[in-house]
Amino acid sequence: MPSLSKYKSRLKRITTHNLSHLLSPHPQVLLSEISGSLGDLGTLLPLLLALSLQGSIDLPSTLVFSGLFNILTGLVFGVPLPVQPMKAIAAASLQDQGQGQGNLGVTVAAGAWVGFAVLLLGGTGGLRKVMRWVPGPVVRGVQVGAGMSLVVAAGGGMVKPLGWFTTPEGTEDGDGKIGIGGGIGGWLDSRALAVLAFGGLVVTLGQGQHQPGRNARGRSRMPMQVPYALVLFLLGLLFAVVRVSLSKNSPGQPPYDQPTNPTNSWIFNPLNHIHPSVFHSLLTPRALSMALAQLPLTTLNSIIAASALASDLFPRASYPLLYDDETFAVPGAWPDASSDHHSSSSSSQIKFEEREEGPVPLTPLSLSISLMNLLSAPFGCMPLCHGSGGLAAQHRFGARSGTSIIFLGSIKFLLGLFFPGSGLLRILQKFPRAFLGVMVLGAGVELARVGVMSVEGSDEDRMVMLMTAGTILAFKNDGVGFLAGWVLWGV
C-alpha cells in the first residue's frame, strides 16, 4: 500500500498544478479555466431543471452538495473531472412524472444503491479484476457511443423543438414547456440563435489546437483564444433574465416546497432539507430497478472510460505533476497516452501488467462516486457521478486543471447556500435551449474524437469500436453496446 508520505507528495504536486493555472501571469489561462468549467452545463442544466420542476430532487441540496464535491474533486484529482447527474436514473425518473413528492425518495434511493454497489466494486478490487477482461477498443467504443449520443440529444432533444426564429408558448421539448410566447422574449431562443452559436463554436474549435513548432502529436495546454463556453453562458444568462422579466406566467413553486422544508430562509439549513422518504424507498422495486439500469453506465462511462480519457487528455509528458514520480504496475489502470510502446501493436493487446496509474486511477474514482451519493442521499441530492463526456466537454472549452471545477463548485455552493428559494429555478428554466444544445454538441464531438484517435491498433480493433458505438446509439444503452463489442472482440 502507498505510504502516507506518497499521498502528501501527490496532494502537494496537484496543488502546485492547480495554483499554476489559477495564479498564471497570463490572464488567458484563468479565462480558459473559467470557460472550461462551464463546458458541461449543456448536460447538467437540462436534467437539473427537469428533475427540480417535477420534484424528483431537492434543488438547494443538489447545488450545495454537488458544489462541495466539485471543489473536493478538483483538489484531489487536479483535472477538470465533472460532477454530473446519473443519466439513466434521471431518464427513468422523468418517465415517472406525476408521482409528486414520493418520486424524490425513489430517485435518490436509486442513486444511493449505485453508490453502495460501486463502493463494493472499488473497495474490494473488483473493478481491477473486471479490467482484465475489458478490451481497449470496447472502452473507446463506449466513449464514441456516448459522444454521438450527446450529439443526437443536442439536435433532437434541445434544438429541434425550437422554432426557426421564435419559440411560441406551448412548444414541447420532452421535459415540459419551453418558450414564453411572442414579443421580444420569443426571439431569445430559436434555431436561428442555435445556428449563430454553432458558427461561433466552429470558429473557436480550431483555435490553437497545436502550438507553433510542436509536432502533430503535441497537445496545446490552452487550445482556445476565446473562452467560448463563458461567452455563451453569460449571454444565455442575460437572455434568461430578460425572458423571466417578460414572462406573464412565472413558474410555480417547486414541488419540494413543503412546510417541513421552508424556502423563506435566507440561507440553506441542512436540517430543513432532510427527506425521510429516501430511507423509506430504499427497498422499493422501482428504486432497485433504476439502480440496476444505472450501474453498467456508471461502471463503464463514469469510471472506466473517464479514467482512460483522463490519461489521453493529460499525458505524463505534458502534465508530469499529475503523475507519481515512479511507474506502478497497478491492475486496472491505463497506459500513459504519451508513450509510444503501443503504437506497434494493437491497443487491445497491451499487457495487463504494463498498465500504470493515470491521473485518475480507477479505485479513487469509484470511491469518489460512492461517497458522493451515500453522503448526500439523506438530503435529497440528485444522484451524482463523474463522466467521460463532461471531462471531454470541459477540456474542449479550455479547462486544464482542477481550478476550473473548483470555480464551478464554488459558484454552485454559494447559489445553493444563499438562494434556497425558487427564484433561481425560474432563471434556469428560461436559459436558452439553443445555447445548451450547442454546448452539448461540442462536448459530444470532443468525446467521440478522443475515442476515435485513441484506437491505434488493427482494422479489427476499429471494427470493435464501431460496433460498440453503433449498438449504443441503436439501443440507447451502454450495457448492450458493451456486450456487443465484447462479443465481437472475442470472436
Q: Which is more confidently placed, 417 or 219?
A: 417
Residues facing 171 on adjacent strands: 178
Best-predicted range by mean pLDDT (32-46, 333-347, 364-378):
364-378
Q: Which of 128-132, 359-363, 393-397 has the lowest mean pLDDT?
A: 128-132
Is pLDDT at 322 greater than 50 in this prediction? yes
| Predicted pLDDT at 381 | 93
Is pLDDT at 252 greater than 70 in this prediction? no
Segment 428-462, tens digit of pLDDT? 778 888 887 887 777 677 667 766 776 666 778 78
| Predicted pLDDT at 249 | 54
Rounded-to-integer distance, Cα 398 and Cα 31, Å: 8
Count Cβ atoms within 10 A of the Cβ of residue 448 and give its class: 0-12 exposed, 13-18 middle, 19 or more buried: buried
Count Cβ atoms within 10 A of the Cβ of residue 252 and give its class: 0-12 exposed, 13-18 middle, 19 or more buried: exposed
Work out the average pLDDT over 44-49. Answer: 76
| Predicted pLDDT at 371 | 94
Band of pLDDT at residue 353, cut at 50, 70 and 90 = very low
Place of cell 473562452: 227
Band of pLDDT at residue 302, cut at 50, 70 and 90 = confident
Rounded-to-integer distance, Cα 334 and Cα 349, Å: 13
Segment 211-250, tens digit of pLDDT? 333 344 444 444 445 667 677 878 888 888 888 777 655 4
Backbone angles phi, psi at 385, to 5 degrees: -155, 175
| Predicted pLDDT at 207 | 52
Q: Kindly give, in sequence order, each residue whose CB lies less than 8 Å from that of residue 473, ignoring residues fewer than 6 positions away.
A: 145, 148, 149, 152, 481
Place of cell 453498467: 296
Is pLDDT at 341 greater than 70 in this prediction? no
The residue segments making up the domain with residue 329 are 4-490
| Predicted pLDDT at 213 | 36
Place of cell 437540462: 46
| Predicted pLDDT at 422 | 62
| Predicted pLDDT at 418 | 83
Best-predicted range by mean pLDDT (8-12, 173-177, 217-221, 428-432):
8-12
| Predicted pLDDT at 401 | 92
Nearest residue to 422 (alpha-carbon basis) of 312, 266, 237, 257: 257
| Predicted pLDDT at 109 | 93
Position 327: which residue type?
T
Give the count of domains, the chain.
1
Best-predicted range by mean pLDDT (208-212, 313-317, 423-427):
313-317
| Predicted pLDDT at 265 | 58
Q: Tell me the torsion sign for CA atoms 212, 401, 30, 66.
A: positive
Backbone angles phi, psi at 373, to 5 degrees: -80, -35
| Predicted pLDDT at 100 | 42
Is pLDDT at 426 greater than 90 in this prediction? no
Is pLDDT at 358 greater than 50 in this prediction? yes
